[in-house]
Amino acid sequence: MVDNAATPTSAVQNDFTTTVGALRTQVADFVAARDWSGFHSPKNLAMSIAIEAAEIMEHFQWYTAAESAERMQDEALRAEMADEVADVIIYCLSLANSTGMDVSHAVRTKLARNEGRFPVERVRGKLG
């Protein structure tokens, strides 16, 4: 098995056993150890999230939707994509840390709002 960001190396530490809080603490510890909290302003983090999201898009620039799905079968590309996804999530978690935002509450609140905006019976199989 290749050791890369796309493949968990431990069956114990994966998405279903790791809490958002644990990841937030790990990011906060990383930032604090380097004394970077002064750089992690909401503006800088918002820009960093957008920059890292663009790095995800860069891997698909000029490809069709079908080609983009096909490209994700390549293990090296999957590892690179996982690195970029991690960058986005790390900056999002740092933004949550620096602003006191509760990510779980925000996601659940937004999903509940989207349930109302996009009722299954109206949008199933088509865009809103």
Site residues (CB under 5 A) for Mg ion? 52, 55, 84, 87
Q: What residue type is 99 in one-letter code?
A: T
Instruction: Give me the helix-helix angle, 20-33 and 75-99, nearest 10°.
Output: 80
Q: How far is the CB of 118 from Mg ion (least distance, A)?
A: 31
Q: Which two tokens stand for residue 65?
A: 């939707």
Q: Please give the sequence-ordered ranges of beta strands (E in DSSP) within 1-128, or none if there are none.
A: none
Nearer to Mg ion by C-beta: 87 or 96? 87
Q: Which two tokens stand for residue 95?
A: 């933004």
Q: How far is the CB of 56 from Mg ion (least distance, A)?
A: 8
Nearer to Mg ion by C-beta: 48 or 97? 48
Q: How far is the CB of 52 from Mg ion (least distance, A)?
A: 5
